[in-house]
Structure 1
């Protein structure tokens, strides 16, 4: 007998703000917190969750548990383009006619991904991994996927194009609410946080509430890797962008943060300080490793992760190498490291 689906997990955060735990299939994060903001024109969602039938079922059941329907959704505000946030936006729009808003930098990623031939990303990734010193046994499965056409099954290839642009500093068009966009690049080039400039419903001291997406999480350090742009020529500095954005968010002095994963939390300034310290420690550790020239892959092998390198799954190793690259790029921008190119592979050394 098939099991009945579990009742959706919904939370009332007060002041016309709710969240729905939407599952992410086969992912240790577990779920995305999709937030619903009541407005005078109907509910507006902040993110939508992963494009999966179970996730869609949870989202629609959660809306019903909150006394509404997906057909009533007025708009969708996307914090960033990743599939656990933007994945169901298109289905919500089809079911309701809702508008979808996203920052232009992430909208460009969505557009570029949709317009590219299915194998372009794998070609780029294979070349990129070879250039940072990845062993052939890591690249070989990607070459096989390219040859077999499995690229067509990967998420995000046909993500919905937004029809509105989120302009940093502007109030979003939410009737009866004051929700201001704050550009917080780093996790993605167009990541935005959303500042609800209204008194906290429980009268907590501080400057309103913040929908933080993946930018500021209570117990997870967001992934900061190089931006996914095959045409990127080395000018971008995602970690620098992230650290600058963190400091700006810390200065807001909000009473409470409503992130896209884990749980709501207070005292965001303390969490910002923890993250700034974490990345400074990581940069210092990398500098000590770079007394000898190393490739980004070799750096990633030597960096401290939540488990030993041999135990890190295949896909996570690619993500880890991108994070190593972002950190060494920051050192390069600061003039504390330089690249040494030879035999088609890039290496870095401390200056």
Structure 2
């Protein structure tokens, strides 16, 4: 389904085989014809994008530029196909090229470190069992671009016949970018903020060391901008009450930090053990790994600020007050 955002800018819901069900792909029919994000490399996503382009009187060769908000599979997955079929230039924030895109390019050599990261934080064998196969499934849904052009924070560029400022909005992803137009009071936010769920803020083997600290700064930046509307990656595409939602998410993570303090005051434990207090509902192996990554973002936030310590015990890191 296409939703008009501005006179030449449209939001397209593209199906993905994840709980969110769809991801937002933006299409700007003004010159240069631009896509923002690309969904997964799946037949359903390709068909949906081709249908959306056709509804706007466009085809793959008309696309001149693809801007990727961040390197996660549901946003970057079709970047290589867009590049191949259209010849479009693919743009990402410079930090995401050096980290996120590099991750996909070096995926095979990075996989053992990915597994070790979870082992080092106490993940049990049953949760590790499907890690490699799940990772390979995700990798199969990404066709990386071969030529990437960097965008830098503070730069301006044309989109929908307007000037937009490039923002760095880390936390959910190290190199997450946003686009801001003050005249329209509109933020293209990707997954930096979402209306109904909290974006996953996780610490992974290749992450910057303090993703939650980064995310607090991103939420403060969004509150300061106070956009009238935002275009978001899921559960949208358009949301209002953006600054209020940023304040809610800040409070949510502060509450989670208080929970970590209380739990570790009772007894030391691994981040994996602590994840069951942070996320009490029943989760499959994949969901538990996401829960561990987010738990790690919270305990490392506190450790880096001197509130927690950790010790290597029994083959894993154990956190304590």
TM-score normalised over the length of structure 2: 0.92
The structure 1 residue matched to 2:121, chosen from 113, 116, 132, is 132
Structure 2 runs not aligned, ≥5 long: none
Q: Counterpart in 2 of 1:185?
A: 170
Structure 1 runs not aligned, ≥5 long: 1-8, 200-207
Query: In the alignment, is the contact (CA less than 8 A) between 1:82 and 1:156 conserved in 2?
Result: no
Q: CA RMSD in A?
A: 2.1
When residues 346 and 228 of structure 1 are mapped into structure 2, their CA distance, relative to the original with a 3 A threshold, is closer
Higher relative contact order (CA 8 A, sep 6+): 2
Whether 1:66 aligns to 2:56 is: yes
Query: In the alignment, is the contact (CA less than 8 A) between 1:17 and 1:38 conserved in 2?
Result: yes
Q: Distance in 2 between the 1:126 and 1:320 partners?
A: 15
Q: Counterpart in 2 of 1:202?
A: none
The structure 1 residue matched to 2:212, chosen from 230, 239, 242, is 239
Query: In the alignment, is the contact (CA less than 8 A) between 1:93 and 1:99 conserved in 2?
Result: yes
Q: Distance in 2 between the 1:121 and 1:42 partners?
A: 36
After TM superposition, give the deviation of residue 174 of structure 1 in Å: 4.3
After TM superposition, give the deviation of residue 157 of structure 1 in Å: 6.0
Q: Distance in 1 between the 2:13 and 2:204 partners?
A: 28
Q: Counterpart in 2 of 1:86?
A: 76
After TM superposition, give the deviation of residue 15 of structure 1 in Å: 2.7
Whether 1:19 aligns to 2:8 is: no
Q: Counterpart in 2 of 1:6?
A: none
Query: In the alignment, is the contact (CA less than 8 A) between 1:114 and 1:158 conserved in 2?
Result: no
After TM superposition, give the deviation of residue 250 of structure 1 in Å: 1.2
Q: Distance in 2 between the 1:303 and 1:112 partners?
A: 28
TM-score normalised over the length of structure 1: 0.85
Q: Counterpart in 2 of 1:209?
A: 186
Query: In the alignment, is the contact (CA less than 8 A) between 2:34 and 2:66 conserved in 1?
Result: yes
The structure 2 residue matched to 1:276, chosen from 247, 250, 253, is 250
Q: Distance in 2 between the 1:216 and 1:162 partners?
A: 28
Indicate the larger mover: 29-38 or 78-87: 29-38
Query: In the alignment, is the contact (CA less than 8 A) between 1:102 and 1:162 conserved in 2?
Result: no
Q: Distance in 2 between the 1:153 and 1:239 partners?
A: 24
Whether 1:326 aligns to 2:311 is: no
Q: Distance in 2 between the 1:135 and 1:112 partners?
A: 25
When residues 265 and 153 of structure 1 are mapped into structure 2, their CA distance, relative to the original with a 3 A threshold, is closer
Q: Deviations over 1:221-276 (max 9, x none)?
A: 000001441xx6xx710000011111011111221111011111112110011000
Query: In the alignment, is the contact (CA less than 8 A) between 2:73 and 2:142 conserved in 1?
Result: no
After TM superposition, give the deviation of residue 162 of structure 1 in Å: 4.5
Q: Counterpart in 2 of 1:100?
A: 90
Larger radius of gyration: 1
Whether 1:56 aligns to 2:46 is: yes
Q: Deviations over 1:293-335 (max 9, x none)?
A: 1100110012135xx2xx2011111111011000001111222
Q: Counterpart of 1:138 in 2: which secondary structure?
A: helix
Q: Deviations over 1:20-43 (max 9, x none)?
A: 111102x1110111112233x242
